[in-house]
Amino acid sequence: MALTIITGCSTANVPPAHAESSKYAAIVVDANTGKTLFSANADATRYPASLTKMMTLYMLFEAMRAGRVNKNTPIPVSAYAAARPPTKLGLKPGQTVRAEDAILGLITRSANDAAAAIGEYLGGSEQRFAQMMTAKARRLGMRNTVFRNASGLPDRAQHSTARDMAILSIALREHFPREFAYFSTQSFVYKGRTIRGHNRLLGKIEGVDGIKTGYTRDSGYNLASSVNLGDRKIVAVVMGGKTGAARDAHMASLIAKYLPRASRGGGSGALIAARDTAPMPVMPVDLPDANEVPVPIARADVGDEIGQGDTDEMEMALVAPTPRPAAAVAMAAIAPTPKAAVPHEVDPVTTASARSHGGWAIQIGSLPTADQAQAMLAKAAAQAGSTLSAATARTETFEKNSTVFYRARFVGFETKTAAWNACAVLKKKNFGCYAIAQ
């Protein structure tokens, strides 16, 4: 179930300054049909910088839709999160930040401390959360994206493409139309301070309703834009601009040229994946104490990393990777299924520090294809009789060693006892089974 962008494009009229840049890439997509209207290096590997935060927000919006988080949920701030380099909200170790303030901080100020806090809260550690982000990217059809952190701060292994960022932009608007309105925020007040956004196209170009800027020295100036005017909709991505102003000017020219060529009306259902509204089964874990998390060491020569009006990130030379307490806590919470009990790949069950409110589910397998997972669910339902009559069969994906697997689950159990009892019946039928809190 993946987003599809149809190829077929023009590469004309790329400004010479961009055409000569090894960092430049761009794409314009008709969001009604998925047709590519313009493309230049759209599938070339690039650094996403703070466009990464679009996926961090996708994951948070998904948790909100599932009922595990609401806009007033207090998100804990570890010393690690608080120490992320600028730009930031100035969060302090041991405090909490409201989920809505964290959202607005990511969208306007591109706050790296808030992004790390979200990652630790939803994933148990930022490293674990990045794995979840990458798995979600694959599910959405983002084939050339790998995430290594929640913020987009420099990491050589973190990369994406203009096409993948367009897919993510469309997915955010189509899967979360209510939450997508946050991306039009130009400023908000946090602890008495007015925090203004970096997206200069908002309010200046008719129809632009989001979504995100990004910058590091290695990425250049990035921008993803959503335009919704009348019955025409496009999403455009520019990566690797030499300056923020040049990037914005190029984006404005792409919008002016290709919005009139976009289709009128029509739905994007054919190119949008299933809405993934089902809650992701999680196990609660505790965040580490603030003083247990290593603090990064800043380089002395980072001053030139701030761009014109686009203070998204400053590069940092971090200490060598160290096992973080949050990651250890998350991994310790995983309840592995014995290999002998399940004749397929052992599933690294997703963990999270977000408390769950969705009842219980049971898992009977992790299979290499969706068809195999669905066949196993059908077989189990047929053999279990009334035991599973009130449950709903569901498949979910996860990635391990760059390979996608499909979880076969039944959801909808109100109590742990009900889930355990269902597992007991299935085990007698020679199914592997374990219960998971949602």
Q: Which of 100-104, 116-120, 156-160, 369-373 has the lowest mean pLDDT?
A: 369-373
Q: Which residue(s) pair with 395 in the sheet?
A: 408
- Check: CB of residue 87 under 8 Å from CB of residue 107: no
Decide if pLDDT at 105 tops 60.
yes
Active site residue 428: no
CA distances from 36 to 1, 10, 184, 237 (A): 20, 8, 24, 12
In three-state secondary structure terms, 1 is: coil
Query: Considering 53, 136, 233, 242, which one is annotated as catalytic?
Result: 53
Q: What angle do CA 161, 146, 237 make, to 5 degrees?
A: 25
In three-state secondary structure terms, 19 is: helix
> Residue 209 is inside which H or E element, if any?
strand 208-216
Decide if pLDDT at 282 tops 60.
no
- Check: CB of residue 409 under 8 Å from CB of residue 422: no
Decide if pLDDT at 199 tops 60.
yes
Decide if pLDDT at 308 tops 70.
no
Enumerate domains of the chain plus CATH numbers: 16-261 (3.40.710.10), 334-437 (3.30.70.1070)
pLDDT tier at 390, thresholds 50, 70, 90: confident
Decide if pLDDT at 278 tops 60.
no
Decide if pLDDT at 370 tops 70.
yes
Q: What angle do CA 30, 34, 37 make, to 5 degrees?
A: 45
Tokens, residue 398:
């996860």
Burial of 184 per CB tally in 10 Å (0-12, 13-18, 19+):
middle
| Mean pLDDT to the nearest integer, 154-172 | 96
Active site residue 110: yes
pLDDT tier at 52, thresholds 50, 70, 90: very high
In whole angstroms, give the CA distance from residue 121 to residue 119. Answer: 5
Query: Considering 21, 23, 35, 50, which one is annotated as catalytic?
Result: 50
Nearest CA among 327, 407, 348, 356 for reference residue 119: 327
Which three-class secondary structure string do you get for 108-145? HHCCHHHHHHHHHHHHCCHHHHHHHHHHHHHHHCCCCC
pTM (predicted TM-score): 0.65
- Mean pLDDT score of the chain: 79
- Check: CB of residue 137 under 8 Å from CB of residue 404: no
Strand blocks (E) in 344-422: 360-367, 392-400, 403-413
pLDDT, tens digit, 9 for 90 and up, residues 16-46: 656 667 899 999 999 999 999 999 999 999 9
The pLDDT of residue 413 is 84
Sign of the alpha-carbon dihedral angle for 87, 90, 96, 102: negative
pLDDT tier at 253, thresholds 50, 70, 90: very high
Nearby residues of 359 by Cβ (< 8 Å), 6 or more positions away: 411, 412, 413, 414, 415, 438
In whole angstroms, give the CA distance from residue 144 to residue 68. Answer: 29
In whole angstroms, give the CA distance from residue 308 to residue 317. Answer: 22
Tokens, residue 318:
């971090």
Decide if pLDDT at 412 tops 80.
yes
Q: What angle do CA 371, 376, 378 make, to 5 degrees?
A: 95
Query: Considering 110, 125, 353, 356, which one is annotated as catalytic?
Result: 110
**Which segment, 44-58, 366-380, 384-398, is predicted with the most confidence on average?**
44-58
